[in-house]
Amino acid sequence: MLPIDLSGKRALVAGVADDRGYGWAIVRALAAAGASVSVGTWPPTMRIFTKSLERGKLDLSLPGGGEIEFERIYPLDAAYDTPGDVPDEVSSSKRYAELEGYTIQGVADKMRADFGDACLDVVVHSLANGPEVRNPLIETSRHGYLEAVSASAYSMVSMIQRFGPLMNEGGALVSLSYLAAERVIPGYGGGMSSAKAALESDTRTLAFEAGRKFGIRVNTISAGPLASRAAKAIGTIELMVDYYAANAALPEATAAEDVGHAAAFLCSPLASGITGETLHVDKGYHIMGMPAHTRMSAE
């Protein structure tokens, strides 16, 4: 047996707000492999998330027995690098006023204070937001476009800048992308396709730069669509899931666990030779050149 063993490793999974999305599946896979896991949660969902945990409303079960136990739960808004970047109207708002240290630098500082230097082995970037995602790109405003790229792509650059110095050599960062980075996906608008393209390009560049500077690996997973709570903002997510299931090489929908397992592999020593890669986890949908039901030859 060749196991994925992350015992003694510490992971931060940024972008977890419930137990329905890919972020949670990655948490489960990392914890099942033995890693100690902390999560970063968007401040507006922080209270709901922690209350759900306290009331036992989240599925903490692990395959093979046991439950997820979080080392820390940090508020994290990856749209802001430092406290000075947070607008007054945000910092004084009801959802933020009682929180502190929720910028990327703030979470890095908290982790250093909680665990010391060289305290991280795995960072997962499960972050995406486009305020105009339902708008076609041609109807997207400059503000909406830049917001999408900032929250969904630049945030990974910022995280490597600030968490890289805390990571042990041989560590790994994994992010989540989508096929819209490569091909046209009608309905996935607001600059989100551009953000995913930037994320994949940055993955390659950062694999070189962070590999040389910190000795860590950087990869991204291009995942098939999942009808998570966050993805419902797209509006057509159920149709996208059904279309993939009907036309993928393996005719079924991508499961959250598929992505969780792939992420655990990429973060493990078994993937020590893999960096700068975009790994498609979509049941083979990305290889198809036309709908599966199409027939070129005459009957």
How do residues 157-214 score in pLDDT, each as one tens digit? 999 999 999 999 999 999 999 999 999 999 899 999 999 999 999 999 999 999 999 9
Average pLDDT rounded to a whole number, residues 112-135: 97
Q: Where are the domains of the chain?
A: 10-284
pLDDT band for position 234 (cuts 50, 70, 90):
low
Residue 285 is a catalytic residue: no
Q: CB of 222 within 8 A of CB of 286? A: yes
DSSP conformational letter for 131 = T
Judged against a pLDDT cut of 80, whether residue 299 lies above it is answered with: no
Mean pLDDT rounded to a whole number for the chain = 94
- Annotated catalytic residue within 188, 243, 244, 285: 188
Please state which of the ranges 55-69, 77-91, 166-180, 200-214 shows the lowest mean pLDDT.
Answer: 55-69
Residue 74 is a catalytic residue: no
How do residues 12-40 score in pLDDT, each as one tens digit? 999 999 998 999 999 999 999 999 999 99
Average pLDDT rounded to a whole number, residues 97-101: 94
CA distance 76 to 40: 5
* Structure confidence at residue 230 (pLDDT): 64
CA distance 19 to 81: 26
* Structure confidence at residue 239 (pLDDT): 84
CA dihedral sign, ordered 75, 81, 82, 84: negative
CA distance 76 to 43: 6
Q: What is the CATH number of domain 10-284?
A: 3.40.50.720
**237 C-beta neighbours (distance < 10 Å), count:** 18
- Annotated catalytic residue within 96, 154, 178, 244: 178
How do residues 235-278 score in pLDDT, each as one tens digit? 567 888 898 999 999 999 999 999 999 999 999 999 999 999 99
